[in-house]
Structures are given as structure tokens and as C-alpha cells.
Structure 1
Amino acid sequence: MNLKEKITTDLVDFKGRVGVAIEIEYERYEFHSGEVFPSASVIKVPILIECLKQSELGKIDLDEFIKITDRAGGSGVLQALSTNLSLTIKDLMTLMITVSDNTATNMLINIVGMDQINQTMEEIGLHSTRLQRKMMDFAAKEKGLDNVTSPSDMVKCLKIIHEEDFLSANSRRMALDILHFQQFHDKLLAMINTDKVFTANKTGSLSNVENDCAIIKAGSKTAYVAVLTDQLPDPYEARQVISRIGKHIYNEITRKAQTT
């Protein structure tokens, strides 16, 4: 079976709702790729893009030290660290991505502005993506204000970080470095040998939601992939399906890299 057939087979009996967007060179696989899903923490990728753009415009200084305040629960480490801690904006960006730190994320939203994040997302063509609340703001969520995106929008984000000219070469390099040091490899990267390929990814999870988006590179071959899910009766089973999709992509691009 080819790549599309393998992935379609994995999705036939998927329990819950799932959307997939994959781009490898000029080939594209889409399965409900334009549908809107709860973003969970993959929304932190466009926030990262906005931070880098504002740095380029001189609106923020990535080396400025910020005192840690308004500590949020959920994922991350800042909530457990000392009370008088100060970190640079770049440190906050790194923690937001690599350990999905919610306190760092909320501080960055305050620094660059929620409205500006949304405006930039619209400018770069993320028409299904919207930041409507801070992390762990469940009161806003109960009012219907949730953060949302689509698989195709997340692939667009990954391409902006890797190859497009919205960001400078230095900013793209920094974003890739940060995403490469991602600590959560339990979905798209779980079944692949990350020593043999370059990976840069961001996961996201909520109750009955399991998401991941990744850049996977083997030699001159690059794959962009986003898998978003919700309404899951069994999140573990969903993670296994996402992991198999990652394995299929890994096999495909390593094979292509060996034949060119």
C-alpha cells in the first residue's frame, strides 16, 4: 500500500473525530483537514510565530527579563519554581513549546496581545484558527470561548516556520531549534527513530482531545503533518493511531531520501 492507503486504513475505524493534513514535497494527503477542532496546546505554535515577528519589528526584546507572575496550573514547570524568578522572553517561548508551560504561555499572550496574535493569524491565512482564551481559563471555556484550529492551518504554521518568508531566516532557525527540543514525543514521534531524522513538533491534549503537529526531515525530504482529534472515547487508542501515522510518514520520507 502507498502512504495514503496506509493512513486511510488506520482512520477507517477511528473512534471519535479526526482531521489530518500531510504535505511531503508536492504530495498532499487530507482527511477533514479544513474542519475546526479544539486546538489544545498546538495553539502555542502561532503564538511563537507572533513573538518572533514582534521581535523582528522591535516591539519586544527577546533578551528582556520578565518576573514570573500569574502562575497557571496544568502543564509546565514555572508553577513549581521559586517565587522571585525572572526569565527572558526567549526563555518563556522555549518553556511554552518544549514543556508546554501554561504560565509562560499566558505571560507571552499578555506581552504580545491576544488581538495582535489573532490579527497575524488571519494575515498569514490561518482562517480556522482563533485564540479566544488563556491557558487553563475554564470559565471562558464554559462560556463557549475556546481556542480552535484546523489541520491545514497547522501545516501552514509549520511551513511558515521552515520555509516561507513571513519570518526572517534567524527567526525561523530559532523557532525550529525550540520545536526540536520538544520534550513530548508520545504521538507522531513515538514510533520513529528520532536519531535518524530531524524533528520539530508541538503536541496538545485536553479531555478527549489528542493533537500533534510536526516537521520531519530526512536528508533533503521534508514532511509537514498535523493530526487533530476530539470526542474521543479512548484517548490512548487515539494516540496509538497518531503514532502509526507518524511511523508511516517516517518510513515514506526515509525511503525517498535513500532513493535520491
Structure 2
Amino acid sequence: MNKLKEAISALVEKAGGIWGVVIEDLDSGKRWGYNEHMPFPAESVIKIPIMAAVFSAVEKGHVSLSEEVVLKRENLVGGSGILQHLTPGVRLPVYDLITLMIIQSDNTATNMLIDLVGMKSIQQILIDAGMKDSLFQRKLIVYPYDTNKKNIITASDVSMLLNRLATGKMLSRHACGQMIQVMKKQQIRNGLPAYLPDPDPEMIGGMPKWELANKTGWSLSRQHDVGILYTNDRTVTITALSKDAASHIALDTLGKIGKEIYNSMTAL
């Protein structure tokens, strides 16, 4: 872990801006943090606890994954995602909304799910996960908005959430497995996995060389990527948050962080 710490420290210092990083090897228990308690605007990383709140509502019998939700004109918001371009009146199962929220970072789907389960249930998930320094206070891409109400995360809190997901302790093991499978289908791969090798196995029917269950978040001055990396029979959680660094440099740095961790996990 020491060599990995040195390599990642050098990468984020060279990138400039402000970074919060936590790496945790769930097999050895070794962990390293860098500015891990510093608050960052959550961006779309907040969609992981929103997903957890929906699965919690499912487990309590308040919601069904197959239940259909009507897309209304007032739901449509900009930013990421396909739903903003669809015709109001379309009906989508809750599971499909979760999938779009995670793999395309769809903001319209996100706000529909927030309305479905309620703000308080998402705030409770943060408490249940032990995310004591994080806040969920507002829907996404809704203007004008109260500048006093922000969604905030820390690298330490997100790392704790990823740990609980990976070990089946966030909700039931079945629900954690379902959430991780959704995250593995992530389509936005320009951060942590950008420099990883082709995951396809050499033999037909073989296991992929690596899998990453991740969620990104970004804006003009912020680039985040967090996830659970599986390779070589090992599991490592990665939380990398940045602000005030040039976007292209931050994305490149995220990719290099992912590569350093992968190389460390696969080293003989």
C-alpha cells in the first residue's frame, strides 16, 4: 500500500486543484485516505444513496421494482440522460429508472425517484450508512435553487457506503448485489477505468479480467469517480473526488489512479 500511496499522492499533487481520495482493500483491510474528511459538492455521486433509498423502500414493501411511474412534463430537467428527450406520458418501471439514473446519470430519472421515495428516506440512508459529514438537501438541475441547500459528500463517507455495499451490509445482501450489478453496467467510463486493459476474457465463456461497479459525478470544475474494483480475486473500493482542477487533467488523473490501483492488485 505504501508504494500505491506515494504514486497516487504524486498524481493528485501534479494535477492541481483539491482532491479527496480513499482506497480500501477489503481483503487485507488496509486503507489509505487523502483529505478524506474534506467536503465536496456531491454532483451525481449522490445518486448511489438515492438508489439505496429506493431499494430500502422496496424491501419495506412501499415500492415495487416493477411498479411503473409516469413521466410528466414537469419532471423533465436538463443535464445528463435520455428521459428529457422522451414524450411525457411514457411509463417506466422503477428498476429502469434506477438503471438510467446510474448508468447514464439521468437527472430526470433521479428526480422521479426522489419524488417516489421522498427526501427524508434518502437523508435517512445517509444516516444508516454512517455518512455523518454528508448532506442531501435538493433535487438535481432544478432552478432557481436555494444556495443554502446543497448536496455534500466526503471521500470518507462515500468509501464507507461502498464498503457497506460490497460487504452486503447496506441493506440485505440481495439488495446490495442488485445495486452492484446496476453499477457494473455503467456507461460513463472516462474516469477510473479509462486506462484499464480490455476486460474481455481471452477464452470464450471465461471471466472478465476486471469489473468495476462505479458512479461518476461532474460539473465545470469538479470531476468525481467512485466504485468497487474486482480483479485477481481481490476487491478494492476507490473514492476519488476533485474540485478546482482543469476537467481534462482531472479526468486523466482519475484514469491514472485507476491504473495504479489495478496494477497494484494484479502485481505478482
TM-score range (shorter-chain normalised) is over 0.9
Q: Contact conserved, 1:140 with 1:146, CA < 8 A, in 2?
A: no
Cα distance in 2, alignment partners of residues 169 and 19 from structure 1: 28
Query: 2:206 maps to which residue?
Result: none
Deviating beyond 3 angstroms after TM superposition, the runs of 4 or more aligned structure 1 residues are: none
Task: Look up the match of 1:165.
Answer: 169
SS in 1 for 2:50: helix
1:42 corresponding residue in structure 2: 45
Counterparts of 1:43-192 in structure 2 under 5 Å?
43-69=46-72, 70-140=75-145, 143-192=147-196
| Aligned residues: CA RMSD | 1.4
- Answer whether contact 2:161 2:170 (CA < 8 A) is retained: no
1:252 alignment partner AA: S
On the 8 A contact 2:22/2:240 being kept in 1, the answer is: yes
Deviates more, 1:67-76 or 1:165-174: 165-174
Task: Quote the Cα distance in structure 1 between the aligned partners of 2:70 and 2:91.
Answer: 4
List alignment gaps of at least 5 residues for structure 1. Answer: none
- Give unpaired runs (5+ residues) of structure 2: 200-208
* Normalised TM-score (structure 1): 0.94
- Kept in 1: contact 2:20–2:241 (CA 8 A): yes
Query: 1:147 and 1:248 mapped to 2: Cα distance?
Result: 30
Change (3 A) 1:101 1:54: same
* Cα offset, 1:139, TM superposition: 2.1
Report what 1:29 is aligned to.
Answer: 32
Distance (Å, rounded) in 2 between the aligned partners of 1:231 and 1:97: 25
Measured after TM superposition, the shift of residue 59 of structure 1 is 1.2
Aligned length: 254
The change in CA–CA distance for 1:61 and 1:183 in structure 2 (over 3 A counts) is: same
CA distance in structure 2 between the aligned counterparts of 1:112 and 1:193, rounded to whole angstroms: 39
The percent identity for this pair of structures is 33
Preserved CA contact (<8 Å) 2:228 2:235: yes
- 1:249 corresponds to which residue? 261
Cα deviation, residue 194, structure 1 = 5.2
8 Å CA contact retained: 1:72, 1:79: yes
Aligned mates of 1:10, 1:74 — CA distance in 2 = 29
- 3-state SS of the aligned residue for 2:15? coil
SS in 2 for 1:12: helix
Distance in 2 (CA, whole Å) between partners of 1:214 and 1:165 is 16
Q: Is structure 2 residue 217 aligned with structure 1 residue 210?
A: no
